[in-house]
Structure 1
């Protein structure tokens, strides 16, 4: 596919579902993904509800397509838009489509365009049905595209001080370089509206972010922000940092200091810095002793987080050095779904209690804190013995046991 700056995009607007007041922001948003070579809007222009569109069409050079409503209750506008989209597709004049509507009737159209290898961007209101959102490569809510209110003028007399221009942040590669639908997450918004309906970051979305980090991470747990963003968009096309009050995805991750580590690295090829993200799995918890293990679950301290391993059958010195513990192949039979996260509570100096979590990563990582609490001896190896349901005991193996 062509470079992001050269992508040719057809913008098809459903006049029945979009306000003319938002068209400037919509076009500015699409310009960030490519060049709008086709701009058409569909509606019945004999009706009064489209009267406000006329000036906008002239200013932005949008071609109006007349579509009469032949039968009451039937939406002929949708049909006209779909037919034109398929004609444009087969003419092979564009690299992608932007469908501006909140109507689920365009779900199959978006799916068909993607099947033909075209980029599909959807823009609509928050009421847009989920099927249409899921059928797009990227979906943007018009509510976050409102104009930024102009700054109030300073009318104080004899004030000749020229206000300082705020420094323009140099975009990093993961912020502004995109070459295909897989890199769309790296395109970041230029501004954030002054008044916008901000959504709280819910647990499901946070878990999705953590999963994306895990699934793109290297052996040390670090994941490149550009790859994280691409994976997130594949799983949640309507994800946008602006929905949560942040101009950039990197700002969103930085705001979650209890959940993510951020590493800014220099780029040899440019002055831009690269962002790498790692999940914070371990949270310090006060271990319980045999005397108070019965009250472990009622303890207000959060449990240490761990992840189920996928390979290895011994705890080795290297595991301790890397702050990673790999435990017994038999463990897989205890937990048949080995791609599930688990949560661990330190019961005493040698015992752990495990329970499922509902996501997909698979490296057991207790870190230095847990290794110290478990009194793991560097250079020694251990086995895991089941004591009770979800309770296991770590036992140090002697050299003869290792040979056996």
Structure 2
């Protein structure tokens, strides 16, 4: 599921300067969409790159539809049944379509509904059956209506829940464990918008089950082309990347956050290994180290298995003396061997059961942290076929 953060910036926010501040904040915070009035679409385009959704204007409805909006998605519901400006029919039976929300206009992909009561919950559910995107705004409600809508229409539409704080956004993403597909922030606070973006990112991240492997060999192997991954993010002492010669078993290699008498720390860097090795990416696949280049994404992992993504800023490939590290993982089927090539340097550290150890101090019998999955890979994707790696 792709989670999204939307920021509401229509005329209910205030004049253009007030709306502009929200839109600029949304762009700078990394939000995915802004929801504006149709007349503002062009001005949003001038401010920066972000997807733009627009409420269809009253004039277009009265005239039976005007020129196609320049927005990436158009919405109905404002100024009509969706926001309570027009009462629901007394004989409403739970059947609605997008033209009910805004008459005589069939351009809309999205529905906007304020849940003012149980009948509006049914109205939102019915509208969602016809809408690619459905925004629901709770009024004096907590979780139950959102739970109902996730359960009933979660597969039919991109469900976006209204929120005013990052905490509400986080709850929306976690509701029923599945969570809403997106949140629409109605706030002027840059901190709340950034917090919602962080909640989106956290909801999309994997949590990996790391294990340990027993080192069976540490051998000097001579020179090889070694890859340093320099990212556009700072990593902390508990973070690194998963790297290995065999796709089924990747070693936890720490970022260069530790101080050394020989070189300064490089908390943006992981000295990952030889060019042939794999590194795990945020999609759960792998890339060869030699394939990485500026702008690619790699997965950063911490000792608890928490993950996040980082953008590659630079890749440094240089000839360096290497170690071959071999270890054994205990599996349900017995013992499996994993290994990697890594630079022979005291600044390169791998995670162990006792913390982290420089590869130059690593010994047979040490327990190193690895990510093990008994699958084969083809072009970095897990496949069900027999592949022998040795």
Alignment TM-score > 0.5, same fold? no
Q: Which has the higher strand share?
A: 2
Higher-RCO chain (CA-CA 8 Å, sequence separation at least 6): 2
More helix by share: 1
